[in-house]
Amino acid sequence: MNNQKEFKPYIPAEKITPEITVTSIIMGIILAVIFGAANAYLGLRVGMTVSASIPAAVISMGVIRVIMRKNSILESNIVQTVGSAGESLAAGAIFTLPALFLWAAEGKMDKPGIVSITLIALLGGLLGVFFMVPLRNALIVKEHGILPYPEGTACAEVLLAGEKGGANASTVFAGMGFAALFKFIIDGLKLVSGEISLRVKGYAGEIGTQIYPAVMSVGYICGARISSYMFAGGVLSWLVIIPLIVLFGENIVLYPGTESIGKIFADGGASAIWSSYIRYIGAGALAAGGIISLIKSLPLIITTFGGAMKSVTGTKSTSDARTAKDINLKIVLASIAILTVLVWLVPAIPVTLLGAVIVVVFGFFFATVSSRMVGLVGSSNNPVSGMAIATLLITTLILKATGVIGIAGMRSAIAIGSIICIVSAIAGDTSQDLKTGYLLGATPYKQQIGEIVGVVAAAFAIGGTLYLLDSAWGFGSEQLGAPQATLMKLIIEGVMEGNLPWALVFIGVFIAVVVEVVGIPVLPFAIGVYLPVQLNACIMVGGLIRLALDKLNRKDEEKKSIVNDGILFCSGMIAGEGLVGILLALLAVFGVDSAIDLSVKLGIPTVAANAGGLVLFAIIIMTVLKFSLWRKRR
């Protein structure tokens, strides 16, 4: 059964329309850098990133159709293809590379150079694209109708809906503008509190919420179920485990703390207990959650890889149609060989020949798995974290067994893990974009070139972004917890040095096991255990707003429109806050942040700042409702 003959895309194969143009490339690069930087900031704060494909598609439709008066859906498709690559590359990079900065802060090694970060991101991203090219015909074409590719299909629907008009782009831009304003008021001018906490005398627990629009937007986009799992994890760690530690260990000095638990709590409150102990419990839960999700996916992974390999060898496209043309396979294989040699030989990348072999073997395997799994369950359920954890464990054990130990081994393990994590993220993103293109009638090799352009642009931006954020606040700080990278760091240290507080780690492991046994998804719960409860509560607010809109007594079409407008507005808010976060980091690096800080100059009391924060939070919620529930529709 030949799906290529049966399926008729929106733009027929025989029709030629503009795709790769100066407009689409420039817009795509701008969006790749914007969403890459914004997602890097978001991921380092909350340990999660969100897809940029749909907001990028909406923005491109708005600009190309409404402002430039051009009617070219495939040109808009190239914009979102290039733009979404930035978000995926940022996701792969920020889950691993900040570990190098954390070790540098501990004095174990020098900071990684920008060139090193850029090259790791660039080579990983390019490998992800090239690994996906020979899989396109097998996964996108042959299995059309079997693999739904939820995000890719949704993005195609957005672009097709945009043929009727590009008004939805204003919703994304409004979200960016409002969030930028809110973020500047909270963290720039500091007129109101960005976090409000409630403590009860005589009880060591703590509850509260952050006020940030991007954090709340994550909850809205993820939905009430995922948000509630994260919030439940936060409640367990901050209202159960922290009070237990303080209650039973007040006069005890417990490793890795160097003072009695009572003194740590007296000096720093619940946050100090979290920093000293809970993050190890959370790391154990996260590691176990990643491995559990990987084990549960193993049957699917094995059949996926086997099926994909059979498809690759047995379904080579022989069509000369425009919609069947990939980058030439000889160019693909030569590029993979050159990139592998560069991973090994480039001095800025601390990877040996053995490491380069590990990159290619694990990289191709996980790229194949990632590409097919996002087709089945969507990008949000793709176990990239589990793959990264498994890769780091195996890689670190291999390096240690072959004598590559100490700082050199740790640095090499992170470099290998980073490249493979980026490969998996980019391969999943590329497959979603190619599905969008398949439905619309795009030219595959032009989309693949677009992915390469997006990877290159984002790779050159990610190094500067990481350096800027680290210089402003430091990874592992209250502003940038870098939960995933901290987890990867702990795993490598645990294998290489064996000096982790294993009792705390195993408490987290068995919490994850219990959660899995009772049928709760482990990873969101484990992330909740690890993150501050105030952040989880803010995410929960977004989830509750989404739940309220999902339960509206409206016609299905109208309700879907309301919810989708909210998603677009929240996507814009994430981008807007991320960009202002980068701007504030620049101001902090140059010492200008204190000049615009009005909290001290005006002498705003804490009570007034907290009240102002609650009022602003209410306004943030109202803006979401204004651009979703209360939006005027034709």
Q: Residue 368 corresponds to which tokens in the numbers above?
A: 């194949």
Question: What are the helix (H) ranges across 47-167?
Answer: 53-61, 73-94, 98-105, 114-132, 136, 150-161
Q: Is 204 helix (H, G, I), strand (E, B) or coil?
A: coil
Q: Residue 611 corresponds to which tokens in the numbers above?
A: 């009240």
- Taking only the tens place, the pLDDT of each residue in 508-542 is 999 999 999 999 988 889 888 988 899 999 999 99
Q: How far is residue 158's CA from residue 339's CA, in Å, rounded to a whole number? A: 35
Q: How far is residue 124's CA from residue 165's CA, in Å, rounded to a whole number? A: 37
**Residue ranges in the chain modelled with pLDDT below 70:** 1-6, 66, 69, 162-167, 297, 300-301, 304-319, 377-386, 633-634
Q: Which long-range contacts (CB under 8 A, 24 or more apart) does 223-228 make?
A: 223/543, 223/546, 223/547, 223/550, 224/543, 224/544, 224/546, 224/547, 224/550, 225/543, 226/521, 226/524, 226/543, 227/539, 227/540, 227/542, 227/543, 227/544, 227/546, 228/540, 228/543
pLDDT of residue 190: 93
- Note whether 613 and 193 are within 8 A (CB): yes
pLDDT of residue 321: 85
Q: How far is residue 221's CA from residue 39's CA, in Å, rounded to a whole number? A: 14
pLDDT of residue 316: 53
- Cα distances (angstroms) measured from residue 428 to each of 56, 132, 383, 423, 572: 17, 9, 11, 9, 22
Q: How far is residue 11's CA from residue 8's CA, in Å, rounded to a whole number? A: 8
Q: How far is residue 514's CA from residue 451's CA, in Å, rounded to a whole number? A: 41
- Taking only the tens place, the pLDDT of each residue in 449-477 is 999 999 999 999 999 999 999 998 889 88
Q: Residue 88 corresponds to which tokens in the numbers above?
A: 């995926």
Place of tokens 């204003």: 170
Q: Which residues pair with 195 in a beta bridge?
A: 210
Question: What are the helix (H) ranges across 473-592?
Answer: 483-496, 502-517, 522-530, 533-550, 556-589
- Note whether 39 and 90 are within 8 A (CB): yes
Element (H, E) at 196: strand 195-199
pLDDT of residue 4: 46
Q: Which residues pair with 197 in a beta bridge?
A: 208
Which residue in 110, 14, 42, 22 sits closest to 573, CA to CA? Answer: 42
pLDDT of residue 312: 56
Q: Which residues pair with 209 in a beta bridge?
A: 196
pLDDT of residue 261: 93
User: Does the model's pTM come out above 0.95?
Assistant: no
